[in-house]
A and B are shown apart, each in its own frame.
Chain A
Amino acid sequence: MAAASRAIAAADYYVYQPNSDVLDADRSLAMYVAAAQSAIADGYSGLRAVVDATPVARSRAQRETLAELEFLVDQQMAVLPFAVLCAYDVTQLGSAADELICLHPFVGSGAVDFQVYADAEPGIDFVIVGEVDASNGDVFATALRRLWPLTTSDTLHIDVEALRFIGQRQLVTLDQTAVQHSTAVVLHTRERFPRRLVELLDLTAVRVEPTTSEEGLR
Chain B
Amino acid sequence: MRAGASAEHVGHFHEAGFYASDDDFRALIVPFVEEGLDAGEPVIIGYDDRKSDLLRNWLQSCAHVTFITEADLYATPARAIANYRRLFQRHVTAGAHQIRIAGDVPHEGNGGRFDGWDRYESAVNTVWDDFPVRSVCLYDATTTSSEVRDVVERTHPRLLSATGERRTNDRYEDPSCFVGLAVSIDPIEASTPVVDIADVTASQARHAVRRVSNDRLDANTLSDLVLGTSEVVTNALTHGREPTWMRIWADADRVVVHVHDSGPGPTDRHVGLMPVKRRAPNGGLGLWVTHQLDLDVDLMAASDGFTVRLRAKKGSPTP
Binding site for B on A (CB under 8 A): 113, 131, 133-135, 165, 167-169, 172, 176, 191-193, 196-197, 200-201
Contact = CB atoms under 8 A, between A and B. Distances in A.
Contacts of A200: 289, 292
B227 A135 contact: no
Given A133-B203, A135-B202, A167-B202, A197 B285 contact: no
Given A193-B226, A196-B223, A134 B202 contact: yes
Contacts of B203: 113, 131, 133, 135
A80 B243 CA distance: 52
Secondary structure at chain A's binding surface: helix, strand, loop or mixed? helix
Contacts of B278: 172, 176, 201
8 contacts: A133-B202, A134-B237, A135-B203, A172-B279, A193-B224, A193-B226, A196-B224, A200-B292
Using C-beta atoms within 8 Å of the partner chain, give the interface range for chain B. Answer: 20 to 34
B237 A193 contact: no
A167 B292 contact: no
A196 B227 contact: yes
A19 to B, nearest CB: 40
Contacts, number: 53
B206 A165 contact: yes
Nearest to A133: B202
A131 B206 CA distance: 10
Contacts of B121: none
Given A134-B202, A167-B231, A167-B234, A197 B223 contact: no
A169 B285 contact: yes
A172 B206 CA distance: 20
A208 B292 CA distance: 19
Interface string B205-219: 010000000000001
Pick from B201, B226, B238, B289 the residue with the most CB of A within 10 Å. B289
A169 B226 CA distance: 15
A81 B285 CA distance: 46
Contacts of B227: 165, 193, 196-197
Contacts of B279: 172
Interface in B211-251: 219-220, 223-224, 226-227, 230-231, 234, 237-238
B91 to A, nearest CB: 19
A192 B223 contact: yes
Contact of A168 (B201, B219, B223, B289): B289
Given A169-B286, A197-B289, A133 B230 contact: yes
Interface of B: 201-203, 206, 219-220, 223-224, 226-227, 230-231, 234, 237-238, 278-279, 285-286, 289, 292-293
Contacts of B289: 168, 197, 200-201
A165 B225 CA distance: 12
Nearest to B286: A168
A37 B278 CA distance: 48
A165 B285 contact: no
A165 B231 CA distance: 11
Contacts of B220: 192
Contacts of A201: 278, 285, 289
B284 to A, nearest CB: 11
Given A165-B206, A196-B293, 11 more contacts: A131-B206, A133-B202, A134-B238, A165-B226, A165-B230, A168-B289, A169-B234, A192-B223, A196-B223, A196-B227, A197-B289
Most chain B beta-carbon contacts within 10 A, residue among A167, A168, A176: A168
A46 B206 CA distance: 42
Of B237, B238, B278, B292, chain A has the most CB atoms within 10 Å of the CB of B278
A176 B223 CA distance: 24
Contacts of A168: 231, 285-286, 289
A113 B278 CA distance: 24
A135 B224 CA distance: 20
Contacts of B238: 134
A197 to B, nearest CB: 7
A85 to B, nearest CB: 27
Contacts of A192: 219-220, 223
A176 B293 CA distance: 23
A196 B293 CA distance: 9
B234 A134 contact: yes
8 A-B pairs with the lowest CB-CB distances in the bound complex, closest first: A134-B234, A133-B202, A193-B223, A172-B278, A168-B289, A192-B223, A200-B292, A200-B289
A196 B318 CA distance: 10
B223 A133 contact: no
Nearest to B293: A196
A200 to B, nearest CB: 5
Contacts of A193: 223-224, 226-227
B94 to A, nearest CB: 20
Contacts of A134: 202, 234, 237-238
A135 B219 contact: no
A197 B226 CA distance: 12
